[in-house]
Structure 1
Amino acid sequence: MRREKKQRVPPATHISRPNSNYRIAKSTRSPFKPKRPPGRPFKMPVRSTTAPPVPSPATPNLESTPAPRRLSMLESLPVEILEQIFLKSLNLNLPRASPVIAAAVSREKIYKILIILALWDDNSTNPDSEPIKRILRPLKYVPLELPERGMLQQEVLRTRWCTMERVREQIPTLMILTIHRLWINHGMTMELDQQAALEKFMNRQDDTIREFSGEGPPLELAPDRYHSSQAGRGALTPAPHQYKLRVQPMVKIEIRSETMNYTVTRPALSIIKFPDHLLRGRSTGFTPNDVMYLEMLRMCSNNYAQTGTPSPLTNSWVRRSVLHEGVDKALRTHNYNALISLLKLDEYFYRFHVSREGRPKCYMFPSDHFITVTQVGRFRPDRPDRHHLNAAFFEALIRASAESLPTRGPEILQWAHENMRLAQRGPTPYNNINGRLATWVVNFMLRLPEQKDYVETFPQGQLFNCGQLDTTDVEACRFIEQVLAPQRAPLKNWLVESQFHVDNWWVEESDSLKK
């Protein structure tokens, strides 16, 4: 008899039982899924939304603490050896390679040595000298060649640690080193009173006596490096030769041979190239400290001319394009002191360096500076309701080079007419001064083509020379009568004027140096 095949009845979703208050859930396991092997499965960690507990300071988490970095062989060297390596290589990028090396060489004595090496012009063939070795210890000193020193100087002046204060502190040291090199080490003999006065001066105890006499052998001079005059030959004059040592603190040292009629000059600071970042200024303009720093470098490097004396040539130079970027920024940010400092440096460099390369030339600068003054000097920020046509910036540009004034400038004519109308409406002393200047500017622009033709053939006939007026010139007399008189005196040489007073820094710090 054939058996009937039983049909599979699908399992019920739940089974009701008497006296039962729960249901059995339907199995969701697939019939084709293999069975789990016997045993208890591993539990998955429960994720928590709360932050893990912070380990207490008493029980630090050693697993999360990074292992200390192993020092390299160079970093493991003693600090004294790292200093020697740094001073021998003169690679200012070396401290950037490691914080350990940076900490080892970032010391005041290292800063002092780098400033001296960068700013001292020493071309001696015999560098051994006990005072020099003592000052530059631990460096084994060897004089740098001019190209090498120029590269080092630019790198040093660009660093953040080379501040105005650090450079200013080393200027007396640089001058004392030069006196040792050119006077004492050269074998000059002096009278006892002269020697005592020089020792007191070099110890920075007294600077009232600044001229000293002595005699000695002929000097080894380098006239191609600095301006000097020679009327005779030292070889034809029997030794010993008579010398005069003149020291202008913080500025220069002069040694004159009375028997050979020879003078050699060494500036306190040997600036090869003025740093671009000081000439250009910051993105927001020039700070008072920036202007003072620039003035200190200008004065202490002897880059200025005194009235009535021939100015010695230094080996300094500037990038005029960068300098006039700074002039434009000083005008737009209304920084009068920065403007004056930059114009003085530019005029001195052009007149006493560029002009002497060939025949004398007329000193000129971009005429756009005059137009910039008329555009940015219209209103005062604190008094927007009142015109403030400040003529001081315009007069400063004229005092630097009146011949740079554009012959055709509608902006300048409008600026001049507004000043004249302002003087008529409100005749205050300030407005009257501006109105007198504006009247002279309008009349001078009519005579300007003739003036430019004159100075092209005779550059010494410029209206202003080093900011000074020639009282015998006809155009200068017009300026004095129409602009300056009767309230203001004739303008004098402005290159010797500075915010940095060189006479305040020689004796003042002597006590601190002794300590």
Structure 2
Amino acid sequence: MASRKGNEVPTRTKLAPEQTVRRTSKSAHAVSKPKRRPGRPFKMSSQSNSSRSTSGRSTPRREPVSRPRTPPLSLSMLETLPVEVIEQIFLYALNLNLPRASPSLAAALSAEHIYRVLILLAFWDDPPSHPGSKAINRMFAPCEYVPLSLADRRQLQDSVFRCRWCTADRVREQIPTVMILTIHRHWFNAGIVMEPQEKAALDRFIARKDDSVRVFHGKGPPSQRISEFLSAATGPDFTDLAPNANNTGLHQYELHITPMVLIEVRCKELRSITTFPGIDLVSFPSYLLRGPSGGYSDADVAFLEMLRITSCNYTRGRGTVMPSTTTQVNRTLLHQGLHKALLQQKYNAVISLLKIDEYCFRFQAANQNRPVFFGIPSEHFLTVTRVGRDKPHLNAAFFEALLRASAESLPLNSEEITQWTVDNMRRAQQNPSAYNLMNGRFARWLSNFLLRLPDQIDFSHEDPTAQLFYCGQLDLMDMEGISFLDQVLRPSNRDPLVNWLPQSSFRTEDHWVKK
């Protein structure tokens, strides 16, 4: 078709002869003007909009904008499976990256019963050699339970800790279930028989209806688990320590339960006490040790303290010469977190980190029941002298906490420490308030202790049990310990400093009985 210029008439097309075109136009003209019925016709939206144009000019009709249509997302064969099948695949593989593969998989696997099973698998120590149990399998539903090796459980526990859904509340809710699993495995599955009244009391305890009775009695055959445990703990002289271990007769057993903390199975014939912690913590989570980027919150400190207590990383184990722990801790990350807590002035975080560090260092299984010297970085003491000087009473409390952890880690010949002691003694003279006087007495004792510190360090390295403080407890058999008691504690009516590891803000008695 030729282009039009000005008001030129377009040339005819070659679709039909001229006469045909004229007849067609005439008939079309006749049809285009039908005789309408009287009355007002409905206005179309386009006509209505065009009639509102200003100055009587018609507005050109806008063509609808064609937008590209988003093609529907195509699901993989895995994503189209029923949710129950996806759950079974996930729990069989235990690959926590699977929910991150797609939103549909994340939606299918983001359920409380999946979180519960993962926590149980990660925190219950059940060796693969143990036989199956219907009661245990029911508690793991919908998972088909298979015991994990230590390496697999270590990997799963680390992966669970890195998930956002792994909160202190969710872990705390499953600690009773972990302990109930331990009772089934090492009491009922061991063939121990109880009197009806004892059995009824234990059933109420397991149902979490009543925890007033915590010691139970029963009779059963020799426990292979206890025999293996004692053999590993005491060495080849096990038969001498437990001469009746291989007897085929029934043994007397006692089940001692501390809710949320530990389970003890005692055997009179074996003269043994086997301890199982509330949860088996392979390692403390890294993000809690080094502290979140924004600093420690109260929830972070509470989570850390709960893990310390419920994993029994605080107590002197009975039945062994010295306590022992298999829980690992990254000391580099821990002291990074300790520095952050000192800068943030989080006292509870400082205390929890110091307790975890000392217990896991002193009593790790690699030490083989031999005492070791425990120390902390000296820079922590200098950090205290630089931070929080506007709150003298709190500032001195931080310094004393570090001293209770390791007094022998004080920096030698430090001008900042010397100035800190002088400032506290001067403040006590100028403003003799109760806090200032207490801090002044502490600073005066510290100034004298710094003079004898080199000899104290040498003596403690030769005999680690002679450190001034051991697990936070003051050594009252040491001359420096007696002077600390007489010069610092007694004038302020303070009790002697005892073992601070069992002391905790986590209230274990609040979480067993269902409310």
How many percent of aligned residue pairs carry the same amino acid? 50
Q: How does 1:180-195 map to 2 (within 5 A)?
A: 180-195=184-199
* Residue 396 of structure 2 is aligned to residue 432 of structure 1: no
Give the secondary structure class of the aligned counterpart of 1:449: helix
Task: Note the alpha carbon deviations across 1:221-257, whole angstroms, 9 max, x for none.
Answer: 2428985795214454342111111111101111111
Write out aligned runs for 1:235-254 (5 A). Answer: 235-254=245-264
Match of 2:224, SS state, is: coil
Q: Secondary structure at the match of 1:485?
A: helix
1:302 matched to which residue of 2? 312
1:143 aligns with 2:154: no
Q: Is the 8 A contact 1:212 1:245 kept in 2?
A: yes
2:115 — aligned with what? 111
Alpha-carbon shift at residue 271 of structure 1 (Å): 0.4
Match in the other structure for 1:132? 136
Change over 3 Å in CA distance of 1:478–1:235 after alignment to 2: closer
Match for residue 313 of structure 1 among 321, 324, 329: 324
For 1:236 and 1:125, how far apart are their aligned partners in 2?
A: 20
Q: Structure 1 residues 62, 188: closer, same or farther in 2, change over 3 A?
A: farther
Output aligned runs, 1:270-419, within 5 Å: 270-306=280-316, 312-353=323-364, 356-357=367-368, 359-379=370-390, 390-419=395-424
RMSD: 2.5
**Which runs of 5 or more residues in structure 1 are unaligned?**
1-36, 42-51, 56-60, 381-386
Counterparts in 2 of 1:285 and 1:209: CA distance versus 1, 3 Å = same
Asked if structure 2 preserves the Cα contact closer than 8 Å seen for 1:292 and 1:500, the reply is yes
Write the distance in 2 (CA, Å) between the matches of 1:309 and 1:368.
38
Q: 2:170 aligns with which of 166, 169, 172?
A: 166
CA distance in 1: counterparts of 2:439 and 2:396, whole angstroms: 6
Residues 476 and 69 (structure 1), Cα distance of their counterparts in 2 relative to 1, 3 Å cut: same
What amino acid sits opposite 1:39 in the alignment? S
Q: 1:3 corresponds to which residue?
A: none
Equivalent of 1:211, from 187, 197, 215? 215
State the AA in 1 paired with 2:382. I
Deviation at 1:187, TM superposition (A): 1.0
- The TM-score normalised by the length of structure 2 is 0.83
Q: Which residue of 2 aligns with 1:80?
A: 84
Q: 1:500 aligns with which of 494, 497, 506?
A: 506
Partner of 1:223 in structure 2?
229
Aligned partners of 2:91 and 2:143 also within 8 Å:
yes
Return closer, same or farther for 1:124/1:189 CA change in 2, 3 Å cut-off: farther
Shift of 1:124: 4.8
Go from structure 1 to structure 2 and tell me whether the alpha carbon gap of 1:287 and 1:85 turns closer, same or farther (over 3 Å shift). same
1:465 Cα deviation from its structure 2 partner: 1.0
Aligned to 1:7: none
Specify the SS of the correspondent of 2:275.
Answer: strand
* In structure 1, C-alpha distance between the alignment counterparts of 2:253 and 2:340, rounded to whole Å: 47
d(CA) in 2 for partners of 1:224, 1:147 = 23
User: 270, 279, 284: which one pairs with 1:260?
Assistant: 270
Q: Tell me whether 1:443 sits opposite 2:407 in the alignment.
A: no
Q: TM-score, normalised by structure 1?
A: 0.83
C-alpha displacement of 1:308: 9.2
Q: Distance in 1 between matches of 2:230 and 2:335?
A: 29
Other-structure match for 2:183: 179
Determine whether 1:452 maps to 2:457. Answer: yes
1:475 aligned onto 2:485: no
Looking at structure 1, the residues matched to 157 and 503 of structure 2 have their Cα atoms a distance apart, in angstroms, of 26
Deviations 1:177-230 (A, max 9, x none): 000001011110111111111111111111111111111112122428985795
Structure 2 CA distance for partners of 1:477 and 1:401, relative to 1, 3 Å: same
Deviation at 1:312, TM superposition (A): 4.2
Aligned-partner Cα distance in 2 for 1:404–1:233: 47
Partner of 1:407, secondary structure, is coil
CA distance in 2, matches of 1:158, 1:244: 38
Partner of 1:14: none
Give the distance between the partners of 1:162 and 1:126, measured in 2 at CA: 28
Matches of 1:462 and 1:54 in 2, distance apart? Answer: 88
* Structure whose residues are more often helix by fraction: 2
Unmatched runs of 5 consecutive residues or more in structure 2: 6-60
Contact 2:363 2:369 in 1 (8 A): no
Q: What SS does the corresponding residue of 1:379 show, helix, strand or coil?
A: coil
Equivalent pair of 2:393/2:439 in contact (CA under 8 Å): no
**1:491 maps to which of 488, 493, 497:** 497
Shift in alpha-carbon separation, 1:446–1:126, aligned structure 2, 3 A:
closer
**Contact preservation (8 Å) 1:280, 1:323:** yes
Distance in 2 between residues matched to 1:79 and 1:466, nearest whole Å: 51
**Structure 1 residues 228 and 403 mapped into 2: Cα distance closer, same or farther (>3 Å)?**
same
Contact 1:228 1:263 in 2 (8 A): no
Do the aligned residues in 2 keep the contact of 1:226 with 1:265 (CA within 8 Å)?
Answer: no
Counterpart residue type for residue 450 of structure 2: M
What displacement does 1:121 show?
0.2
2:452 match: secondary structure: helix
- Distance in 1 (CA, whole Å) between partners of 2:467 and 2:480 is 9
- SS in structure 2 at match of 1:263: strand
C-alpha contact 2:273 2:318 (8 A) present in aligned 1 = no
The letter of the residue matching 1:372 is T
